[in-house]
Amino acid sequence: MKLRVNEIFFSIQGEGIQIGVPTIFLRLFGCDLRCTWCDSMYAVEGEDYKDLKVGDLIQKIESLNCKNICITGGEPLLQQDTLIVLVDALIQRKFKILLETAGHIKPSHIFHDLNVLISMDCKCPASKMEKKTNFSILESLQEKDQIKFVISDKNDYEYARKIITDKNFRAKIIFQPVYGANISFLADLILEDNLKVRVLPQLHKIIWGDIRGI
């Protein structure tokens, strides 16, 4: 069994509740969405990938000597059948797994394992993909998981605020500004409205800038 892989690298987790933690990143290739602000189009279109056997991937991952792994994309769940095999093997090897997914494909039950954290997007209007969000999937997430809103402007903020008010989410809520936006505008709005969310930047881009493979 093979997965279509864009890149594997070791870096610092730059987003969400695990921000700052040394992590292996496995970026799978391919996505069926086209967010306007996507910062990894090289993993969405073109031919920048290799078809790698699950066994070879496990060997590469273990060689990086870290027990935290983030599976991202693209959209990893487009390859869910084979990904389940890899995730099961990683769980057996005591890895802590973070799955980044866009909120329109239902994750298999294996991703509800206590060793897996699901980070699911809720797309806002500026992405042009907000109609793709499946709210029933987001509402099924557990307290260990996180829902991430990428905020571009005040319209996105108001959309996200309404969603978290109207929906019954158990997962932790992250508001993240689009890269290049002033995070203070978002922090000020959250404080003004006293929202029970976390506002977090993309730490890796603050450290290294907007480049791939870090």
Is residue 150 domain-resident? yes
> In this predicted structure, what is the pLDDT of residue 207?
83
Is residue 159 domain-resident? yes
The per-residue pLDDT for range 153-162, each reduced to its tens digit, is: 999 999 999 9
List 120's β-bridge partners, or say none.
101, 147
Is residue 28 domain-resident? yes
Is residue 214 domain-resident? no
Is residue 146 domain-resident? yes
For 65-74, what is the mean pLDDT? 97
Contact 33, 77 (CB under 8 A): no
Q: Tell me the C-alpha distance between 35 and 39, whole Å.
A: 9
Is residue 109 domain-resident? yes
Q: Which CATH number characterizes residue 126's domain? A: 3.20.20.70
Name the domain count of the chain: 1
The pLDDT confidence band at residue 61, using thresholds 50, 70 and 90, is: very high
> In this predicted structure, what is the pLDDT of residue 181?
82
Q: Which single residue is written with the structure tokens 């070791």?
A: 10
Residues in the chain: 214
Lateral strand order in the sheet of 116-121 = 50-53, 2-12, 22-28, 68-72, 96-101, 116-121, 146-151, 172-177, 198-199
> In this predicted structure, what is the pLDDT of residue 214?
61
> In this predicted structure, what is the pLDDT of residue 182?
84
Q: Which two tokens stand for residue 11?
A: 């870096």
Q: Tell me the C-alpha distance between 34 and 130, whole Å.
A: 11
Q: Tell me the C-alpha distance between 146 and 168, whole Å.
A: 13
Domain with 43 in it: 2-208
pTM (two decimals): 0.95
Q: Which single residue is written with the structure tokens 């699901």?
A: 118
* Strands 2-12, 22-28: pairing kind: antiparallel
Q: Tell me the C-alpha distance between 43 and 29, whole Å.
A: 5
Q: Which of 130, 126, 71, 75 is nearest to 99 (CA)?
A: 71
Is residue 213 domain-resident? no
Contact 102, 33 (CB under 8 A): yes
Is residue 49 domain-resident? yes
